[in-house]
Chain A
Amino acid sequence: MKGSSQSPRPSVSLSVSLRVSGRAYKFGDNINTDVIYPGKYLSITTDREEMAKHCFETVYPEFLKNAKHGDIIVAGKNFGCGSSREQAATCLKYFGISAIIAESFARIFYRNAINLGLPVLVAPDINQKVEHNDSIEIDLETGILKNMRTNEVIKATKLPPFILEIIKVGGLIPYLRKKLGIEK
């Protein structure tokens, strides 16, 4: 089984801290959701840990071996284009990806990530300012990033307060439970 050489991943924390740090795992432009989560696994509808075992499996199988819990995906333009499959965001969240910074996102993936409480930030030229394996710190509240290797401070587009609020509570479901007054 792919990725079986890894030690078991720590369980994913669902609430999100506004300060995120991690190692950059890089991708190029136009990474589509068929590539992130292959169509043949769409019959997995409820088991999120199972979804996490198939991230990028068909086209970039090395991801499952090399990526680590807590990594930050850094990508070019139009990340997450194509199908609306939420599994593409879910698999990354449950793999343990702590945030995604891209030059731009396709809209449905962007919404899915936010709704699952997976922080997503838009930063122009990010792919030129960060190398694979660089250590990155993110302040979600201000949208300021720092590349710890180069000490460069990078400005991402600040998240609107409404979206930040959804991410802060861990996604749309806890947000709605709070709004609808449903007790835990």
Chain B
Amino acid sequence: MATIAEKILAKASGKEKVVPNEIVMAKIDIAMSHENADVVLRSFREIGVKHVWDKNKIVILFDHRIPAESEKSATTHKRLREFVKGQDITYFYDMKEGICHQILPEFGHCRPGEVLVGTDSHTTTHGAFGTFATGIGATEMSGVWATGELWLKVPESIKINITGPFKHYVSAKDLILHIIGMLGSDGANYQAVEFHGKTIKRLSIASRMVLCNLSMEMGAKVAFIVPDEKTIAYVKERTDKKFDVMLPNEDAYYANVIDIDVTNLESQIACPHAVDNVKSVKEIEGTKINQALIGSCTNGRLEDLAVAAKILANKTVHTDVRLLVIPASRKVYLEAIKKGYIEIFVKAGSLVLNPGCGPCLGAHQGLLAPGEVCVATTNRNFKGRMGSPESFVYLASPATVAASAIQGEITPPAES
């Protein structure tokens, strides 16, 4: 009778069942903050509670501005290290580990059936593990630090069935861009998205994370891959903690059911300045670029670097283009070194940066000048997002970005 979201929220709020639009007080299993923990901290002090509710359930890490790009950020890092020590927070990852949405699963913090909140909108990523994972604000996170609870409205759910085989070089990124283009930037606003279907079962964990990560860009509150043996194997390898796998009932109610066959899907690209402004790469083939970027919480994982390395092997990045490569985490970086990908990137003339968010949010490490064009594997192309408000950001798959970096213009991967 219930969807995954309804089952998890019923359990978290101690109820038999919950219905969409009901407001519940949910117990939180994991509460994650990056540098904006500093914003949370100010509010936490205003509440006036001395100790956090559970030092084992809070995760703090640095990924947005690493190494510190300014004295201000260095001071934020310093203040948070002192807070972590003072409160004896168990799970603190200083700037060496990488992006929050990669290191949470890597270190076993994502488990099916739990509620995970993060002060970052792309927290939906962790629904790839059957976790009710959603982004929240800093003030409400301070309430979570103090009480371990949060008010949540039970979302309606929609079901997206994916079938068919992908064409060569067409990936989860192309699929989710296609879905966002179809539904629009508020097409799943406040809703829980469940991905079902044979194609999803075949997808790697990393590709599943891409779907859940970008579901945020159509407004989703949470996104789920229905947990299967692949999910359970990944999670069990990384945590000893027991968890309850929550599966949707056959007769669960969905506000919308969408069927998509990917057999004929081409490489997709989101054009400036909106993530739902999606076209096939072929439609804008030949658009000149100045920068290309492979990385971020969307596409900086090993399989992303693998496909880029395959395309860039024995090739050179176009002389008018700077290609930035940012592995999502230290573990990904090390694997990429072992497999020889990093050598391929450096030989081709890329700049390999330390694991982190990099220029995705326009903080540092590769901003754009007025009139410049970047094609990136990141998740937002809003006006001014990556530097000048007069610059242009296109979002595409790692294969499309690698192929475009070689040609100096937007290029579908197969033709490079």
Q: How large is the interface on A (under 10, 10 to 19, 20 to 34, 35 or more residues)?
A: 35 or more
Complex CA gap A115/B142 in Å reads 11
A173 within 8 A of B: yes
Given A32-B382, A180-B47, 15 more pairs with CB closer than 8 A: A39-B362, A42-B363, A43-B69, A46-B42, A58-B389, A77-B186, A86-B39, A106-B189, A107-B190, A112-B139, A173-B139, A173-B142, A180-B49, A180-B146, A182-B49
B108 within 8 A of A: no
* A98-139 near B? 1/0 per residue, CB < 8 Å: 000000101110011001100000000000000000000000
Complex CA gap A43/B362 in Å reads 12
Complex CA gap A30/B385 in Å reads 15
Complex CA gap A65/B252 in Å reads 52
Pick the residue among A59, A84, A182 that contacts B136 (CB under 8 A). A84
Across-interface contacts of B38 in A (CB, < 8 A): 45-46
Complex CA gap A25/B357 in Å reads 34
* B interface SS class: loop
Complex CA gap A44/B383 in Å reads 21
* A165-181 near B? 1/0 per residue, CB < 8 Å: 00000011100110010
A147 within 8 A of B: no
Pick the residue among B65, B136, B362 that contacts A34 (CB under 8 A). B362
Complex CA gap A35/B384 in Å reads 8
Complex CA gap A50/B312 in Å reads 45
Given contacts A34-B384, A86-B137, A176-B147, contact A43 B73 (CB under 8 A): yes
A21 within 8 A of B: no
Is A86 within 8 A of B219, CB to CB? no
Complex CA gap A176/B137 in Å reads 15
Is A172 within 8 A of B186, CB to CB? no
Q: How large is the interface on B (under 10, 10 to 19, 20 to 34, 35 or more residues)?
A: 35 or more
Given contacts A58-B384, A86-B36, A108-B135, contact A115 B47 (CB under 8 A): no
Complex CA gap A46/B385 in Å reads 22
Complex CA gap A107/B47 in Å reads 24
Is A43 within 8 A of B70, CB to CB? yes
Tell me how far the C-beta of A118 lies from the nearest C-beta in chain B, rounded to whole angstroms. Answer: 11
Across-interface contacts of B189 in A (CB, < 8 A): 78, 104, 106-107
Pick the residue among A38, A81, A85, A111 that contacts B219 (CB under 8 A). A81
Given contacts A39-B363, A160-B23, contact A84 B43 (CB under 8 A): no
- How many pairs of residues, A versus B, come closer than 8 Å at their CB atoms? 133
Given contacts A108-B121, A182-B49, contact A38 B362 (CB under 8 A): yes
B113 within 8 A of A: no
Residues on A lying within 8 angstroms of B by beta carbon are: 30, 32, 34-35, 38-40, 42-46, 58-59, 77-78, 81-87, 89, 104, 106-108, 111-112, 115-116, 160, 162, 171-173, 176-177, 180, 182
Looking across the interface, which residue of chain B has its beta carbon closest to that of A184? B48
Tell me how far the C-beta of B411 lies from the nearest C-beta in chain A, rounded to whole angstroms. Answer: 27
Looking across the interface, which residue of chain A has its beta carbon closest to that of B141? A86
Is B186 within 8 A of A104, CB to CB? yes
Looking across the interface, which residue of chain B has its beta carbon closest to that of A77? B186
B199 within 8 A of A: no
Tell me how far the C-beta of A125 lies from the nearest C-beta in chain B, rounded to whole angstroms. Answer: 16
Complex CA gap A78/B69 in Å reads 32
Complex CA gap A7/B210 in Å reads 48
Pick the residue among B65, B121, B140, B147 that contacts A115 (CB under 8 A). B140
Is A171 within 8 A of B135, CB to CB? no
B365 within 8 A of A: no
Q: Please name 30 pairs of A and B residues whose Cβ atoms are closer than 8 Å in the assembled complex, sorted by A.
A: A30-B185, A32-B380, A34-B362, A34-B380, A34-B384, A42-B64, A43-B72, A43-B363, A78-B185, A81-B185, A81-B219, A82-B121, A82-B380, A83-B121, A84-B135, A89-B137, A106-B219, A107-B190, A108-B121, A108-B137, A111-B137, A115-B139, A171-B139, A172-B142, A176-B143, A176-B146, A176-B147, A177-B48, A180-B147, A182-B47
